[in-house]
Amino acid sequence: MTSELDIFVGNTTLIDEDVYRLWLDGYSVTDAVALRVRSGILEQTGATAAVLQSDTMDHYRTFHMLERLLHAPPKLLHQLIFQIPPSRQALLIERYYAFDEAFVREVLGKKLSKGTKKDLDDISTKTGITLKSCRRQFDNFKRVFKVVEEMRGSLVDNIQQHFLLSDRLARDYAAIVFFANNRFETGKKKLQYLSFGDFAFCAELMIQNWTLGAVDSQMDDMDMDLDKEFLQDLKELKVLVADKDLLDLHKSLVCTALRGKLGVFSEMEANFKNLSRGLVNVAAKLTHNKDVRDLFVDLVEKFVEPCRSDHWPLSDVRFFLNQYSASVHSLDGFRHQTLWDRYMGTLRGCLLRLYHD
């Protein structure tokens, strides 16, 4: 006796959260059944393995049918085939678009292309996430990217509107899209200590302050691309380190203000010129795409690592950066105050977030 056909269709579509998770995690039906058996569900319910198998198959089939709709979540809301309560619809969408930290760190900043997709095998082996799940996550990134790529308006809002994600998840996706678009390097060994959250935080600050949409909402309101004009202008900041008088003045202003307030004052004093040069040079280099990509590598190399090797506590870093950016306002010979604020405001936020072990 073999079962040829075995289905269950409810007027309200039954969604089993546990099975959904297993499906999203890319387990085969057999593996999912084994995992469910291990969870002790048979003992709790008195069911048999055959029942579990049939139930799992059924849910998998439902999810498979729903997947098409999940690719365009508004469709899930308007479709008539599956009657699903709104709360469950939200759950389906949210979980479908959720991603693994380990996976996103591998892909963040990479071009979402076929080439990267081929590397998923390696990522799967490396992270222990099933290939199927990797594919889903990768495809999700790519799909969101494609949809919002050419769109005007706020990136987060666009994502939320077209994918009905929660605020939190939409922000994460905005970061992923932003990173993919600007191809920031995140995979270097130096950057391994950083979490996705760190990058997402930076991305958000950058979107808010460094993109075209940040200054001029009337024209092309693009959140995806960095404001080219702004990057070009950043060259002007070079004077801060190129002009020796300005550099000395800047240093003395900072040192005067921080004397006695900083545990690592002497180290700071010794390193000031190096640090300032580092920060300003990063700004000046951003005209080249290649250097934009290396932004995070540079920041870590030029600022985070030197400070860390001198054991600066985070509070000192904050004091320093606040003073460092504020003191520029007192430099009479310096004319690019607004530019400096736009640059340093964001950078300060990023650096503080990046500064940890």
Between residue 141 and residue 200, which ones bind other proteins under the rule CB under 8 A? 152-154, 157, 160-161, 164, 166-168, 171
CA distance 82 to 77: 10
Q: Return the closest-CA partner of residue 186 out of 207, 170, 202.
A: 202
Is residue 49 involved in binding other proteins (CB under 8 A)? Answer: no
CA distance 309 to 262: 16
One residue of 78, 118, 189, 244 binding other proteins per CB under 8 A = 78
Is residue 81 involved in binding other proteins (CB under 8 A)? Answer: yes
Burial class (CB in 10 A: 0-12, 13-18, 19+), 120: buried
CA distance 246 to 276: 11
Contact between 213 and 151 (Cβ < 8 Å): no
**Minimum distance, C-beta of residue 303 to other proteins, in the bound complex (Å):** 17
Is residue 323 involved in binding other proteins (CB under 8 A)? Answer: no
One residue of 32, 55, 99, 134 binding other proteins per CB under 8 A = 55
User: Nearest 5°: phi and psi at 12?
Assistant: -100, 125
For residue 20, what are the CA distances in angstroms to 29, 94, 128, 261?
A: 11, 12, 19, 54
One residue of 30, 48, 252, 274 binding other proteins per CB under 8 A = 48
Closer to other proteins by CB, 79 or 281: give it.
79
**Minimum distance, C-beta of residue 83 to other proteins, in the bound complex (Å):** 7
For residue 5, what are the CA distances in angstroms to 54, 286, 301?
A: 10, 61, 61
Is residue 255 involved in binding other proteins (CB under 8 A)? Answer: no
Name the segment binding other proteins (CB under 8 A); options: 120-128, 215-223, 232-240, 304-312.
Answer: 215-223
Is residue 14 involved in binding other proteins (CB under 8 A)? Answer: yes
Which residues, 23 to 42, sit near other proteins by CB under 8 A?
40-41
Name the segment binding other proteins (CB under 8 A); options: 5-13, 116-124, 235-243, 245-253.
Answer: 5-13
Which residues, 86 to 105, sit near other proteins by CB under 8 A?
86-91, 94
